[in-house]
Structure 1
């Protein structure tokens, strides 16, 4: 039952996140009158607020990963003392990916758009890939270094900032890539661009984990 609840929480949380990202992108694009900066700002604010709420709601149940990179990093770190997360990781990741698809479709349904779509928005090139690696490395570092009780606010704030300081607008999440790949909207990404983003995200996740290990306090009572 515990695993079932965690899996459901990861599905619902990821679905809610992608619904917020894509839905707010659709609304922002319709209302911004062609002003991309205003649309991105509205998209950012909705994502930040939704992410904070979703982490608070589902964090006590599953840890609120909503992201395959986060799940894998936490599984690797926990493996020496607790192998449960490593064993459950494939199921949690599957729930995240399914949730991303469901969230995209829900956003489309609410805005009377075709459920089945494929984005044509190209996001290619070394600068975009570097941006995704930086965004994901920072996200992992924030998650691993956040003081107890402050993770939800810090993660939401970091993602909101990274929307603006990264060239890619900070997907930082392979599940988000999948959901946004299935939406021909402001937040979309073309399927041909997806592999580069996902590889960069996993590379960034490894860098973030390494940086957190370097900063780890070796003394008893350290915060790490």
Structure 2
């Protein structure tokens, strides 16, 4: 079953909105319920991993469930999606992500329009985003190659883990980074810090395409045959 571009773009925008709404909303809820930062992070982590399983399962058949410009760029580099199509996906993802932040604010009766004051910068943060995005794209590429049916769980579990093993808590998504710049809450990032995060995420995606793309490609079989 194939879906036309309008439906695919709505799926990408809706999925990214729900993803960001979950990230920001669970962060607000967690910070309202506890002053323990570790516990709040756990309360932010589990819903994010869970919603990814749901969103990829229900929207993947429509648009491929990228919900992430870095993932779209990775597939574009592999020529599995066209340039014009990629640009439309990315625009839908960014718009959806920003709407997700605004809706989360509305649900918790906060100011709808906000700009984060949370500083997230420095070499450690940037390296963490390269690693986080590399791992995410690697998971998707290898998952598509070997266990396409498991992609929702693979991505959800990877992000759940990466929240805790990366210094940046694994944004790994330029659309999410932009959207979180519009939220001065637990999950926010200062808009000034967003461009460096995006650059690091794209670097991680490109490295994954180069390394994992090679890794999962089978070696050419030898066609040499001995003749009597």
TM-score of the pair, normalised by structure 1? 0.93
Paired residues, what number? 216
Which of 9, 29, 33 aligns to 2:11? It is 9
**Distance (whole Å) between structure 2 residues aligned to residue 177 and residue 159 of structure 1:** 15
- Determine helix, strand or coil for the equivalent of 2:148: coil
Q: Show the counterpart of 2:57.
A: 56
> Which residue matches 1:24?
26
Alignment of structure 1 residues 192-207 onto 2, 5 Å = 192-207=192-207
Q: Secondary structure at the match of 1:184?
A: coil
- Give the equivalent residue in structure 1 for 2:225: none
User: How far did 1:78 drift?
Assistant: 2.3
* Residues 1-224 of structure 1 aligned to structure 2 (within 5 Å): 2-32=4-34, 34-78=35-79, 85-146=82-143, 147-219=147-219
* Structure 1 residues 24-82: Cα deviation after superposition (integer angstroms, max 9, x where no partner): 000000001x1000000010001011111011111000000000010111022125xxx
Q: Aligned with 2:187: secondary structure?
A: coil
> Where does structure 1 lack aligned partners over 5 or more consecutive residues?
none
Instruction: Give a deviation string over 1:168-216, Cα, whole Å, max 9, x none.
Output: 0000000001110000000000011111111100000111111212312
Question: Does structure 1 retain, via aligned residues, the 8 Å contact 2:141–2:213?
Answer: no
Distance 1:220 1:70 in 2: 27
Q: Counterparts of 2:181 and 2:5 in 1: how far apart (Å)?
A: 29
For 1:155, what is the secondary structure of its paired residue? helix
Distance in 2 separating the partners of 1:85 and 1:25: 35
- The superposition leaves residues 102-121 of structure 1 with CA deviations (integer Å, 9 ceiling, x where unpaired) of 10000000000011000000
Q: For 1:149 and 1:220, how far apart are their aligned partners in 2?
A: 26
TM-score by length of 2: 0.92
For the Cα contact (< 8 Å) 2:48–2:160, is it kept in 1?
A: yes
Q: Counterparts of 2:209 and 2:219 in 1: how far apart (Å)?
A: 19
Question: d(CA) in 1 for partners of 2:159 and 2:138?
Answer: 12
Partner SS for 1:123: coil
RMSD: 1.3
Whole-Å separation in 2 of the counterparts to 1:217 and 1:6: 28
